[in-house]
Amino acid sequence: MSIFKECDIRGVYDTELTIDDALLIGKAVGTILQGENIVVGGDSRNSTPVLKEALIKGLVSTGADVIDIGEVPTPIVYFAKREFRTRGAVMVTASHNPSRYNGFKIIMGDMPLTPEQIYRIRDLTLSRCFRTGEGHYERSAILPQYAEMIRKHIPAAGSLKMVVDCGNGITSILAPGILEEMGHSVVPLFCECDGDFPNRDPNPSVEKNLLELKRKVVEHKADIGIAFDGDGDRVIFIDDKGRFCSSESVFIILCRHYLSQSPEKKKIVFDGKAASNVKKSIELYNGIPLPERSGHAFIKKRFIEEQAVLAGEVSGHFFFSELGYDDGLFGALKFCEILLKNNEKLSNMIDKMEKPLITEDIRIYYEENERERLLKHINQKGSDYSLSYLDGVRVDYPFGWIIVRKSVTEPCVTVRLEAESLKDAKRITSHLFAEKYKDIGEQILSSLLNRK
């Protein structure tokens, strides 16, 4: 499978993504930027140092001036790009993927990379028609400026007891310390950087990965549990009863806060595969809901274009108008600020919400040809109902909906279904999967039964 995805570059280190690839990608990015300055950072994966070194070598060889900010979470690369006023930025990371993966999140200009720009990088690595020059390299600290930015936007009035699970990812270097500095009482969990991720998978949006965090929240009678992904641009929460909080529930609380700040209608971008109560809540709080295709680049682009006050993705990415990008730690601090202002337990706030019957993101791993056949099958079988194509294929029934889409980061399709009742969910699955792909229907019903 190609390392060049729709939103970034990613693959298994030393099998799909090599040091030579990193060098060529650096040369390609430097060529496109025409030797302009660029920020480079990396996460704590074992393969990051060598890939980063090769990337920088490639960049400098094109005449680019590189500012190396060391090992940092991805949002700090975004922050540094703005702080140093550079044209580009590269983060060496595979985000939430397992430890054997690595990759590059690339920014060239003010907007996220388009698939076409990624394919241009790919084509340059094949043609090797690179610009040449003598660039400059320097290292620069950025964490003090970032901490100052946090203090500017978030009042140091914390008093929550929290368990913080960094998953041995790069947020270990600063999240517990900043949360304590803001006044919170922190119980650290897996807060030592380890590129092997020995304690849990770096994807916190999968509930089974947070069993220890849930247990610790109950054990320590904490107000909240906070979990970050491998590179720190996503955040997931556990309530005071040790229950997993869906990103939709968290996003609804954030929406209510941001929309209550003024009577003016504000735009909010949301994940097109989010539960129906997200759109309903934005409208209820006098906001303008804007659905967008899943995927960091697509959500962020729409967020910037619309000058929205907030954006959210089901995977736990939250984008804030104060920043202009997503940041897991900022999201955690802002969410805790909201909890304190409401003076209410998180479990109470969650329990008051409408609870749609909806599956988790179900990942089904197929070869490319089979993925295409599945989408064609859904398109044909769903033609008697309302079809839409914002993201893969969505079929809307009078009693629910289903989305089947190709993942932009993994060789799989993701499936999500919402229905008014379990009976209605069975009607949808029997309609779409009775003759073929019965395993998908079974996984959907199993997911719903487990979440009830």
Kindly state the average pLDDT of the residues 349-376: 92
Tell me, yes or no, whether 276 lies in a domain: yes
Instruction: Say whether both 401 and 413 belong to one domain.
Output: yes
Instruction: Say whether both 387 and 407 belong to one domain.
Output: yes
Instruction: Say whether both 185 and 305 belong to one domain.
Output: no
The answer to whether 317 is a known catalytic residue is yes
Structural domain ending residue among the three candidates 107, 142, 177: 142
Mind listing the pLDDT tens digit for each residue in 259-317? 998 889 999 999 999 999 999 999 999 999 999 999 899 999 999 999 999 999 999 99
pLDDT band at residue 452 under the 50/70/90 scheme: low
Tell me, yes or no, whether 149 lies in a domain: no
What's the chain look like in SS3? CCCECCCCEEEEECCCECHHHHHHHHHHHHHHCCCCCEEEEECCCCCHHHHHHHHHHHHHCECCCEEEEEECCHHHHHHHHHHHCCCEEEEECCCCCCCCEEEEEEEECCCECCHHHHHHHHHHHHHCCCCCECCCEEECCCHHHHHHHHHHHCCCCCCCEEEEECCCCHHHHCHHHHHHHCCCEEEEECCCCCCCCCCCCCCCCCHHHHHHHHHHHHHCCCCEEEEECCCCCCEEEECCCCCEECHHHHHHHHHHHHHCCCCCCCEEEEECCCCHHHHHHHHHCCCEEEEECCCHHHHHHHHHHCCCCEEECCCCCEEECCCCEECHHHHHHHHHHHHHHHCCCHHHHHHCCCCCEECCCEEEECCHHHHHHHHHHHHHHHHHCEEECCCCEEEEECCEEEEEEECCCCCEEEEEEEECCHHHHHHHHHHHHCCCCHHHHHHHHHHHHHHC
Rounded CA separation 341/157 (Å): 10
Q: What is the pLDDT of residue 101?
A: 97
Residue 73 has pLDDT above 80, yes or no: yes
Tell me, yes or no, whether 4 lies in a domain: no
Residue of 44, 47, 95, 99 marked active site: 95
Residue 373, domain extent: 357-451
Instruction: Say whether both 342 and 364 belong to one domain.
Output: no
Instruction: Say whether both 300 and 187 belong to one domain.
Output: no
Instruction: Say whether both 214 and 253 belong to one domain.
Output: no
Kindly state the average pLDDT of the residues 46-70: 98
Q: Which of 104, 92, 102, 119 is nearest to 32 (CA)?
A: 119
Question: Cβ atoms within 10 A of the Cβ of 360, count?
Answer: 18
Q: Which distant-in-sequence residues (6+ apart) come within 8 Å of 419 by Cβ? A: 357, 358, 399, 400, 425, 427, 428, 448
Residue 451 has pLDDT above 80, yes or no: no
Residue 242 has pLDDT above 80, yes or no: yes
Q: What is the pLDDT of residue 435?
A: 78
Q: What is the pLDDT of residue 25?
A: 98
Instruction: Say whether both 229 and 252 belong to one domain.
Output: no
pLDDT band at residue 408 under the 50/70/90 scheme: confident
Tell me, yes or no, whether 153 lies in a domain: no
Tell me, yes or no, whether 150 lies in a domain: no
Identify the CATH number of the domain in which residue 421 sits: 3.30.310.50
Instruction: Say whether both 239 and 259 belong to one domain.
Output: no
Kindly state the average pLDDT of the residues 375-380: 94
The answer to whether 95 is a known catalytic residue is yes
Instruction: Say whether both 333 and 378 belong to one domain.
Output: no
What pTM, to 2 d.p., does this model score? 0.94
Q: How many domains does the structure of the chain reveal?
A: 4
Structural domain ending residue among the three candidates 199, 224, 245: 245
pLDDT band at residue 155 under the 50/70/90 scheme: confident
The answer to whether 10 is a known catalytic residue is yes
Mean pLDDT of the chain: 95
Instruction: Say whether both 112 and 49 belong to one domain.
Output: yes
Residue 2 has pLDDT above 90, yes or no: no
Residue of 10, 234, 371, 405 marked active site: 10
Identify the CATH number of the domain in which residue 196 sits: 3.40.120.10
Tell me, yes or no, whether 97 lies in a domain: yes
Tell me, yes or no, whether 311 lies in a domain: yes
Residue of 293, 296, 317, 377 marked active site: 317
pLDDT band at residue 1 under the 50/70/90 scheme: low
Q: Which of 3-17, 126-140, 152-166 has the highest mean pLDDT?
A: 126-140
Residue 351 has pLDDT above 80, yes or no: yes
Q: What is the pLDDT of residue 362?
A: 92
Instruction: Say whether both 255 and 172 belong to one domain.
Output: no
Instruction: Say whether both 238 and 263 belong to one domain.
Output: no
Residue 78 has pLDDT above 90, yes or no: yes
Tell me, yes or no, whether 420 lies in a domain: yes
Q: Which distant-in-sequence residues (6+ apart) come within 8 Å of 84 by Cβ? A: 37, 39, 67, 140
Structural domain ending residue among the three candidates 224, 245, 266: 245
Rounded CA separation 298/304 (Å): 10
